[in-house]
Amino acid sequence: MTAAPSIATAVVMLSCIVTAAVALNVTTLPFDEGFCHLFGDDNLVRSPDGRSARLILNRYSGSGFISNDLYDHGFFSASIKLPSDYTAGVVVAFYTSNGDIFEKTHDELDFEFLGNTRGREWRIQTNVYGNGSTSRGREERYLLPFDPTVEAHRYSILWTSDFIIFYIDDTPIREVVRSDAMGGDYPSKPMSVYATIWDGSTWATGNGKYKVNYKYAPFVSDFSDLVLRGCRVDPIQQPDSARRCAEANEDLLTADFAVMTPKKRAAMRRFRERYMTYAFCYDTNRYPLTFPDCDVIPSEQSRFFEWGETKYPRERRRSRRQIRKPPRAGDPKREADV
């Protein structure tokens, strides 16, 4: 579950000045039109044109921002460039949550970017929490077909009343369809949108074996092409908001990013076959009773160990300048979490 300092959510109704974005058919907005400072003092730096923001982690603090409004479903997106070099223990997150309002029954949808030791790739995790299901995060973890530290790539969360889709650029990587089997675990209450960078030394890399090394600080992550498309709501007047948002949610369900064409499904299947490294549905060690909403496919299940990790991890990228020789026994890089 994504960690961030708790803060009372400001609900401010603002009109959005938008410009066209590439790839998916969405529109972007200036930072101050949709977001405000969450924590980190000077570790959040707005760009001179006001359309992007930089989040910094140093030995004094992480940083983060939050949407000005809560949303009753929506499409939320950002182009993100991640820190490079040694990033063990560093966690960058782009997510939705209502934990500040519903402390024990909160909902949450996460992109968590988990740093690593030098020479190892960033790992990306998606989580789905509903109604306080903190012990049932429905986690999946992936590697990437590109280096996310070289240039920004778009990460998007589509949350509707019927399904959830996680996108990387214009490729869907995960779809969660609402079902009776999920019960209250499907996120259903209005949520804010967050972006944070913070010290996850206790768990993020090698289950806490490799911690943040501030010799490599500051760790910098850039957020641009910000998108907030959904129905803004008043958390106190939710019944009225739900009625008012019905039409907006219908528009959301018919948008191009909500339509899973055969081409999109094929792209999602290829991505998951090549890059998914952990699947909660196949983690019988942590979850002895398979989740009722899991679609267990025997041929796919055979690719995973009982603790949910893939049996066939992809080889990490190597620099052309990197010496191609096997690591010596005891070399910490050999032991690093992949």
Residues marked as catalytic: 108, 112
Cα-Cα-Cα-Cα dihedral of 93, 49, 72, 167, to 10°?
-50
Q: Are strands 192-199 and 19-20 parallel, antiparallel or unpaired?
A: unpaired
Can you tell me the distance from the alpha carbon of 195 to that of 161, in angstroms, rounded to the nearest whole number?
23
Question: Cα–Cα–Cα angle for 172, 99, 4, nearest 5°?
Answer: 80
Can you tell me the distance from the alpha carbon of 52 to that of 320, in angstroms, rounded to the nearest whole number?
33
Cβ atoms 277, 309 nearer than 8 A: yes
Cβ atoms 294, 181 nearer than 8 A: no
Contacts of 147 (CB under 8 A, 6+ apart): 121, 317
User: Exposed (0-12), middle (13-18) or buried (19+): which is 236, by Cβ within 10 Å?
Assistant: exposed
